[in-house]
Structure 1
Amino acid sequence: MAIICATNLSADAAHAATVAATLACRLGEPLVLLGVADEAPDAEAPDALAVAEAGLAAECARLRPLVGTVQARMHRRGGSVDTLLGEEDCRSARLVVVAAQGWRTSTWKKTSLAERLARHGCAPVLVVRRDTALLDWARGRRRLLVMVGVDPRSSTSSAALGFLRELRRVGGCDVLATFVCSPAEERERLGIHSPVHVELLAPQVRDIEALDPVVERVLHREVRECVGDLEGEGRVEVVLEPGYGRPADHLLHVAHAHAVDLTVVGMHLRGGVQRLWHGSVSEGVLRHAERSVACIPPGPREPRRIPPPRSVLVPVDFTPASGQAIAQACTLVGPGGRVHLLHVHQLRGRERGPRDIHGVLPEPAGERDAVLKRLWDWVPRDAVALAVHWSVEGVSGNDVALAICQATEREGVDLVCVGTSERHEPVPDVLEGAVARELVARCRRPVMVVPTA
């Protein structure tokens, strides 16, 4: 593995090379210095290449006391990023370091060298600006304030968090785990009901960018679970940034408001038409950030080990099939686990009325207390059940399977355990096999189907 630094021998590139050499020393890795001539060759100066090579040799001599091993290679002007970073470089690169500024490009190029290196996606790219934060941190003089973009439902977060863990092994880092979220989309995902017409809301909650307290609590928990345990020195804070439009703009707003030293973002390696259509959060942050940025490509995806469930949601329709599922859930979570019992009252005919809400509603007022009492009556009383934490909930909605899926997101359970019966029993809101099939197809959590003869 090696730290690779691209340089055109400008003052900005020299600063980036110093950061790269200091990091290479801390990580015990060699430094590879790639000389990039970004100016047009001068016909009257045929020895320009020799001058550039001499300057690169002098830069190596300056950096060698910092890192020990420095390799130099001159890259001729006009080549692509593929020729700058060959296959061998991509296999051996632990990190690519490049200055954010100080590069001269022709008018037809729409992206900087830093953006092209990040888009190449063969290794993490650290784009350095000329402030002293990174250098002082790499020398062990201070902690670094790092903002990492986190999306609990995106594969890019794992790569960014993996890079952050490496940073904290090098030195202390205070972390702002930032999730840019759409309040309306999150309310819909979690089934938090709210009127469609904003003017009907109370004045204190008319701000469509405000997060409902229930939504905020769930998102905070999900981001914490996504970040996990971060070894090393420094605090970890969750920042929820509600807003609409381009996520990159909201990440830049948080970075500016908190004066972060480094922004870490994961990348989707889209190309061509996909990039034009979807845009790129990482590219937007990289292009407009005030301080240094690290863009992290996705790594090889390893099979994720799923631990035994400690929390289970059981849909209850008050049939023997539900009792079988409750007993199974109690056995699965074991002592100290949690089982959430959910009854969904399916709205029918005249109950539906005008659909002026998003999400599910509570049980009808006249039935709520009776339903909750009935759910508590279904909690087993044996010794195993007494060691389990129980909770109950009743909701009303048009789509039973969707209401169950939304409840799994609100509760953050590990598993759904649903009982089914092939017999058509004369019980309202019975969970027939069709609901179980829909849950398997639509739910983001694992689903266990418990058949009853």
Structure 2
Amino acid sequence: MTKPVVAGVDGSPSSLHAVEAASHEAAVRGAQLRLVHAFGRSSSHLPAGGPPWNPAGTGVRELLDGTLAAAERRARGVAPEVDITRDVTVGEPLTVLEIASRSASLVVVGSRGLGAFSSLLLGSTSGHLAAHGRCPVLVVRGRPRPAGPVLLAVDDSSASEEAVRFAFTEASLRGADLTALHVCRPGSPDVYDGPADPPFVTYDETHLREHAGRVLDTALAGREERHPDVTVVRRPVVGRVRHTLIDASADAQLLVVGARGRGGFRGLLLGSVSQAVLHHAQCPVAVVRHRGEGPGTAEGGEGDHP
């Protein structure tokens, strides 16, 4: 049986957009949609009159019912056939979503929210969810281009295998092309073993692009045969990672990135690049964590340098 798709709900416009995206994802997967609302003692958006940790308190139950009912209406407007459940949980939202991800195929959240959700994917919390989530996390932001491709940020390590697999599956489910992008940064340790980016070194851009092309070939090997319905475009690029990803996202319906890796994507969603992508990507972003790493081992990396 397909695991459910989980949507984080707080009643904000951003979370309602996330609910719509989650409903579509559940429909194409043939999965159940689980609407999750979490609140704790610090939830500033709960009304006065009852303890905020007690759903039976005055005004609280009505607020929660209204929030979840509105979310369900938005979901059914997208995919009326999807089976929907509601879940109100006491707890810190990141912890609740982390726990929910253990039995989900996908967690979908907005990029902005209310109360305890307001910083859900900003700052260090983005790294927390990417590092500790047990399934891919879809952050709904920007303006997706329905006719655009799924954009895959390809890494040159085994940690990106899950991201590659997820991107091919998404492209197949969406009936979209897949653009596989690898950015080779001048001074990358993969192609240069000397001091970091010394001013007197002249880089052979042709050599760097050839290296990026080999990385793409290795990462995609065997995947195209398994997904003959997906048209793949390879994009070996020389440049800065964050700028390249943000620019490329303008024409995409989804950007897929791995949460760990080496080379130009090291620490992609745990450092400076993560902030750039989550704040400035022009389409939704799917974060796929490497399953081979324990939740407590993911650490911030270098990101790309300005």
Q: Scaled by the length of structure 2, what TM-score is found?
A: 0.72
Structure 2 counterpart SS, 1:9: coil
Q: Is residue 31–residue 67 contact of structure 1 (8 Å, CA) maintained in 2?
A: no
Q: Is residue 33–residue 71 contact of structure 1 (8 Å, CA) maintained in 2?
A: yes
5+ unaligned residues in a row in structure 2: which ranges?
51-56, 294-306
Equivalent in 250, 259, 267 of residue 267 of structure 1:
259
Residue 279 of structure 1 and its aligned partner are, at CA, apart by 2.6
Structure 1 pair 175/279, CA: closer, same or farther in 2 (3 Å)?
Answer: same
Residue identity in the other structure for 1:239: R
Matches within 5 A, 1:141-156: 143-152=147-156, 154-156=157-159
What is residue 239 of structure 1 aligned with on the other side? 235
Equivalent in 214, 221, 227 of residue 221 of structure 1:
214
Residue 120 of structure 1 and its aligned partner are, at CA, apart by 2.7
Residue 221 of structure 1 and its aligned partner are, at CA, apart by 2.9
Residue identity in the other structure for 1:217: E
In 2: Cα distance, 1:47 partner to 1:288 partner: 40
Equivalent in 23, 39, 45 of residue 44 of structure 2:
39
Does 2:58 correspond to 1:66? no
RMSD: 3.5
In 1: Cα distance, 2:64 partner to 2:228 partner: 41
Which gives a bigger RCO, structure 1 or 2 (Cα 8 Å, sep 6+)? 2
Does 2:281 correspond to 1:289? yes
In 2: Cα distance, 1:112 partner to 1:197 partner: 36
Residue 61 of structure 1 and its aligned partner are, at CA, apart by 5.0
What is residue 20 of structure 2 aligned with on the other side? 18
Residue 180 of structure 1 and its aligned partner are, at CA, apart by 1.8
Q: Is residue 146–residue 175 contact of structure 1 (8 Å, CA) maintained in 2?
A: yes
Structure 1 pair 84/293, CA: closer, same or farther in 2 (3 Å)?
Answer: closer
In 2: Cα distance, 1:215 partner to 1:85 partner: 39
Residue 116 of structure 1 and its aligned partner are, at CA, apart by 4.5
Residue identity in the other structure for 1:238: R
Structure 1 counterpart SS, 2:96: helix
Note the alpha carbon deviations across 1:323-365, whole angstroms, 9 max, x for none. xxxxxxxxxxxxxxxxxxxxxxxxxxxxxxxxxxxxxxxxxxx
What is residue 344 of structure 1 aligned with on the other side? none
What is residue 54 of structure 2 aligned with on the other side? none
What is residue 82 of structure 1 aligned with on the other side? 95
Structure (1 or 2) with the greater strand fraction = 1
Q: Is residue 7–residue 35 contact of structure 1 (8 Å, CA) maintained in 2?
A: yes
Structure 1 pair 260/83, CA: closer, same or farther in 2 (3 Å)?
Answer: closer
Note the alpha carbon deviations across 1:32-51, whole angstroms, 9 max, x for none. 10024553433247533212
Structure 1 pair 173/105, CA: closer, same or farther in 2 (3 Å)?
Answer: same
In 1: Cα distance, 2:141 partner to 2:200 partner: 46
Structure 1 pair 111/66, CA: closer, same or farther in 2 (3 Å)?
Answer: farther
Equivalent in 62, 73, 76 of residue 51 of structure 1:
62
Equivalent in 174, 177, 189 of residue 174 of structure 1:
177
In 2: Cα distance, 1:300 partner to 1:121 partner: 13
In 1: Cα distance, 2:233 partner to 2:83 partner: 38
What is residue 247 of structure 2 aligned with on the other side? 253
Structure 1 pair 60/241, CA: closer, same or farther in 2 (3 Å)?
Answer: same
5+ unaligned residues in a row in structure 1: which ranges?
138-142, 199-205, 302-453
In 2: Cα distance, 1:165 partner to 1:106 partner: 30
Q: Is residue 184–residue 236 contact of structure 2 (8 Å, CA) maintained in 1?
A: yes
Structure 1 pair 51/111, CA: closer, same or farther in 2 (3 Å)?
Answer: farther
In 2: Cα distance, 1:235 partner to 1:124 partner: 23
Structure 2 counterpart SS, 1:179: strand
Residue identity in the other structure for 2:220: V
What is residue 123 of structure 2 aligned with on the other side? 111
Residue 161 of structure 1 and its aligned partner are, at CA, apart by 0.2
What is residue 103 of structure 2 aligned with on the other side? 92
Task: Give the greater-gyration-radius structure (CA).
Answer: 1
Q: Is residue 37–residue 89 contact of structure 2 (8 Å, CA) maintained in 1?
A: yes
Note the alpha carbon deviations across 1:56-93, whole angstroms, 9 max, x for none. 134335535624311111133x625223442xx33321
Equivalent in 114, 131, 156 of residue 143 of structure 2:
131
Structure 1 pair 2/11, CA: closer, same or farther in 2 (3 Å)?
Answer: same
Structure 1 pair 100/80, CA: closer, same or farther in 2 (3 Å)?
Answer: closer
Note the alpha carbon deviations across 1:249-290, whole angstroms, 9 max, x for none. 44223334xx22221110129xxxx97xx8364454223322
Residue 117 of structure 1 and its aligned partner are, at CA, apart by 3.0
